[in-house]
Structure 1
Amino acid sequence: MFWDYNRYVKAAAESLGLTLKAHHGGGSSSSSHDRASAAGEPLPTGPNIVEAAGKEDGGPAETGGGTAAAAATRRQQQRPAGDGPGGGLSLWDGERLVFNMSGSWWDVARAAVRYGTAALAYRWRVAGAFRRFQRVYDLQAAGVSWETPDAMLQQLGLFNQTQRSSRDYMEAHLLRPAAWWLWGGRAFIEEAAAAVGRCNYNQRTDQLNALAGLVSYGPAAYGSVWAIEGGNRKLVSGLLAASGARLLRGGRVRAARRHAGTGLWWLEVEGQGAGAAAAVYGPYQAVVLAAPLVGSGLVIEKEVEEDELVAGVDSSGGGGGGSESSNGFSRDSRAAHNAESVGGDERPGLHQRAAATRRRLLFSDLAGSYGGASQEHTSSDIGSSKISSSSRATGGDTAALLQRPYQVTITTFVAAGRLRPAFFNATALPPGLSAVLVTDSARVPFAAVAARRLAGPAGGEGNDEVVYKLFSSEPLAPELLERLFEPGPAQQAPRVLASRRWYAYPRFAPPERFPPFLLGPGLVYGNALEPAASAMEMAAVAAANSALLVARHLQAAAAAAAVRQ
């Protein structure tokens, strides 16, 4: 059922003939894995798509939280409970395993007793939010576009859910109503909802906004999610191939610059190799920024031409290129002519009138690369950047919103024996335990751990060694892994197979404030919607809105050109 709420992603996958795998449970979030832009030689016609210059983990991988709980719970359908990893899932509050689910009827009954009608009431809230979200498809099919996420969410009736925390929202609807039939809310909030949100977004319920919390819990509420055989990245590569667009690789895009006279955009791309000069590509009628600006190192500028009086310009028309003026412009070029002449003789040294081309800084990613050293952004830094938009945040406010931080998540793959019961303050773990999700109250360095037994001879499963996937915000110390896991075969200590650090999702901060989709004429920011909730379908809806905004811009430009003719 939940799959039906992913209309764009589902339609794209089916149109490409991709094989879909059903997961029974788990999460649905998608990550913003790549941050920086790159470009190569542009095409004279047709769309150009520039690819991120590098990946934080060195290559594509399915490392997201959406597969962790799903991987454990779907195995309930594949194997009976036993001594090794099966389909069991437990919730841990840092002191004890507060709830265990193996898929048996007894566990289902225990869940009903523990979480009462609160779980059902929250599921109704999830369903209501998804029904309102469904309206976006008919609106976009009719050509409706929005310049800001605020306007989109308000029309869908979902804006208010982004203005309060998930915890406050759940307490308001699951604890405070004086309804005789509503019970189990406290345990549900502290345990089930908190563990799912922490697994999916690596953030607590007081950090998530209510809409992100509802989206995160959706697959758990409806009992099924999906994945694409061979990895969800096949959807992106398939769409690129089907579009006929050219993917440009190579240098990193350092600047997007709009010429005020023509309204066209140019891209400045760093040179290849040490000392290589930057190249400028264009012109483009429209540019879509399809990755977060944070960490891109991107500068957005506007070129303007204006007449001004310039002192001391000689008759040759020379000028100082690249100098910074007091009003925030830099002079790129100057064509000067004599403002005063007597009998046709030029009189150097007097004031000259010059047509100066200047660049006005609209936005600068002050942090440069998100993989490098972090920098504090002072109010004066951000206040110097201005972007015109129809968002409720303008000027330096908008520039600050574009610098929104992202949540760092480290995915660690560990080969080891079984989980140690002593770590969880237990004498024995539930049979077939495959995954442990961590609640908000647990002060531990990881958010979730899920297991999968290594393949054995002839395609069967190995006997002793298991690969575990852990989510954390910091690297996991070897001492912690030794306390968490028993040794593998031949008493081998737990060993890290891979550890990947990625900027997974926005760091939510309700009440949320959004950057605009439309940063300027012909410049669209596709990631503006991500602070509402980070998921593949949300990204697809934002992409559709970006396309509609570009189409509107091109139509307006064509109409203006026709009038001029």
Structure 2
Amino acid sequence: MSPGGLSLRALLILGLCHSGRRSLASAPKGQPGRIAVVGAGIGGSATAFYLRQEFGAGVKIDVFEPGAVGGRLATVKIGDHEYETGGSVIHPLNLHMKHFIEKLGIPPRKDVPSKMAIFDGKELTFEESNWFIVNFLRLLWRYGLHFLRMQMWVESVLDKFMRIYQYQQYGYSFSTVERLLHAMGGDGFLTLMNQTLEETMMAEGFSQVFINDIVAPITRVNYGQSVRINGFVGAVSLAGADSGLWAVDGGNRRVCSGLLYHSKSELISARVTSISVKVRPSKTGAAASFYEVNYVGESGSAHSLYDIVVIATPLHQGKSDISFSGFSPTIPTHYPGRYHQTVSTLVHGVLNVSYLGSSEPASEFTVSDVLTTDSKGSAINSLSSIDPVHVPQGYSRPPASHAKVWKVFSPQPLSQEQLRHMFLSWEVASETRWLAYPSYRPPHRKTPPFILHNRLYYLNAVEWAASAMEMSAIAARNVALLAHHRWHGEKKKVDQEDLHTRLRGEL
């Protein structure tokens, strides 16, 4: 990476700290009165935060959430500690997430050293050493320079990806996922959406052996899917194997509750059932349109009118049943495509190291993260020793000969027989079934737009490019900017081309 690239990123981080102040300081007249956000996961809570920045203190923001704040960022308590069951790691270049914890005053979680191994269903084909040079030489001996070339390829994608922070710092927004991706990476990013990661890497000269042995285990642990996912989400997945990954002290969901607090939103514990267009007379006598949000909470059914609505929950089968009425053209209740199931099982028990084909004594087995190849009949996608969301002072991860908490990702719930193969004994086995992310199957279908209607927006369209905490935060910033610009008729800030060339000389 060039020194110029590093200085640009430093400037972007500084710029993010000041983003949004323009709107608070000099908000124009004619602000919306009420805004609704449907969903209080990372996308919905970030949207509320950015909407407050853009529209100022005078707007009432309601956030609807029938479950726990955090959505797919969730924890479960085992014994005296809580553990992540949902989204668990954040990339060091995820500038929005970094800005959030700085704004909220939440520290990153204390890092605990870890070791990785790869399991082919019978034995460990690679086991990380404590020594970097040993790992490097092993990979060099088996795969040549493929591993270094993979890091360079991922970094080239990340360098283009980082442009979005510059565009958003200057207030630019995009009406579709395709336009957003094109602004970042041109036709190259759109091409990545229309071919598999396997096809992309083969075209770049990577061997099939390297893809099967190294790349597939990474996509399986991050997305529960093979290298036949699209190339863009594949690059995001490979970035998730970088060093320097971090998490939030106390659990990543703390970011969501903190953003809602700072947005001064009202959290409404209710499930939204339908949204319709209503026309009402305004103070001037002219007709004005509003969105009627119908919802069901503990007190029964109710409805409220809003000027702007942002849907921050997936409009797909199994994820939502919000119906839409009075819209022309019609808005579907469910968009095409499906969400992929991943089962997260947290087991407090003693690992059976022989299940992994290891002959080491359990007391000497120090691997903490076991990734798996895409072998036929594989029951699990990964097996990881995990630490509490708050790492206490003096904490050290117990050896495999002791009972500790393991997280198992699998495509289907684990049977008692499968658990008996993996663990010598266990006290707790807590299962969470996630429809965690889309099933990524190129060629890429046209994603739903960010704009469903005049002032009705859909945040989760971005997940069909890639599902990640930072992708949701980027979409939240984009939708807040989009809603602000379109409310005030600022067309020059929407869907502008060649922004990279235009802004390159301004930093």
For 1:201 and 1:6, the matched residues in 2 are separated by 32
Shift of 1:412: 0.8
Report the counterpart of residue 119 of structure 1 in structure 2. 147
| Match of residue 403 from structure 2 | 465
- Alignment counterpart, residue 88 of structure 1, candidates 112, 115, 118: 115
Q: Distance in 1 between matches of 2:373 and 2:14?
A: 30
Tell me the matched-pair count: 409
Separation in 2, partners of 1:5, 1:439: 37
Alignment partner for residue 499 of structure 1, among 431, 455, 467? 431
Match of 1:159 in 2: 190
1:363 aligns with 2:331: yes
The question of 1:186 aligning with 2:199 is answered: no
Confirm or deny: 8 A CA contact 1:254 1:297 kept in the other structure: yes
The corresponding residue for 2:86 is 64
The match for 1:256 is: 275
- Structure with the largest fraction of helix: 2
In structure 2, relative to structure 1, the CA distance for the partners of 1:427 and 1:59 (3 Å cut) is closer
Match of 1:482 among 400, 405, 420: 420
In the TM superposition, residue 364 of structure 1 has moved relative to its aligned partner by: 4.5
**Partner residue of 2:308?**
286
Q: Which amino acid aligns with 1:251?
A: A
Residue 331 of structure 2 aligns to a residue whose secondary structure is strand
**Which amino acid counterpart does residue 455 of structure 2 have in structure 1?**
G
Q: CA deviation at 1:289?
A: 0.7
SS at match of 1:270: strand
Q: Against the structure 1 CA distance between its residues 69 and 57, is the aligned structure 2 distance closer, same or farther, given a 3 Å change threshold? A: closer
1:121-520 → structure 2 map (5 Å cutoff):
121-156=149-184, 157=186, 158-175=189-206, 185-206=207-228, 208-221=229-242, 223-247=243-267, 249-259=268-278, 262-270=288-296, 272=298, 276=300, 278-282=301-305, 284-294=306-316, 295-302=319-326, 362-365=330-333, 402-421=335-354, 423-428=355-360, 431-452=365-386, 464-486=402-424, 493-513=425-445, 514-520=447-453
The percentage of counterpart residues that share the same residue type is 28
Counterpart amino acid of residue 173 in structure 1: E
Q: What is the distance in 2 between the residues matched to 1:419 and 1:5?
A: 46
The answer to whether the 8 A contact 1:114-1:187 is kept is no
Amino acid at match of 2:485: R
Matches within 5 A, 1:546-565: 546-556=479-489
**Which residue matches 1:524?**
457
Which of 29, 33, 54 is 2:67 aligned to? 54
SS of 1:174's partner is coil
2:74/2:253 contact within 8 Å kept: no
TM-score normalised by structure 2 residue count: 0.71
Query: Is contact 1:300–1:361 with CA below 8 Å preserved after alignment?
Result: no
Alpha carbons of 1:5 and 1:450: their partners in 2 closer, same or farther (altered >3 Å)? farther
Give TM-score scaled by structure 1 length: 0.64
Match of 1:307 in 2: none
Contact 1:32-1:504 within 8 A present in 2 as well: no
RMSD: 3.8
Decide whether aligned partners of structure 1 residues 202 and 553 sit closer, same or farther in structure 2, where only a CA change above 3 A counts: same
Q: What amino acid sits opposite 1:509 in the alignment? A: R
Q: State the Cα distance separating 1:543 from its structure 2 match.
A: 0.8
> How far is the alpha carbon of 1:191 from its aligned partner?
1.6
Greater Cα radius of gyration, structure 1 or 2: 1
- Tell me, in whole angstroms, the C-alpha distance in 1 between the residues paired with 2:387 and 2:470: 31
Contact kept in structure 2, 1:88 and 1:433, CA below 8 Å: yes
Q: Secondary structure of the residue that 1:151 maps to in structure 2? A: helix
- Larger displacement relative to structure 2 (252-261 or 286-295): 252-261
Letter in 2 for 1:215: V
Gaps of 5+ in 2: 21-39, 45-56, 77-83, 93-109, 280-286, 492-507
Compared with structure 1, are the counterparts of its residues 538 and 5 closer, same or farther at alpha carbon in structure 2 (3 Å cutoff)?
Answer: farther
Deviation at 1:246, TM superposition (A): 1.9
Gaps of 5+ in 1: 16-30, 36-43, 77-86, 176-184, 304-359, 366-398, 487-492, 559-565
Determine helix, strand or coil for the equivalent of 1:530.
helix
Structure 1 residue 519, shift from structure 2 partner:
0.7
Paired residue secondary structure (1:263):
strand
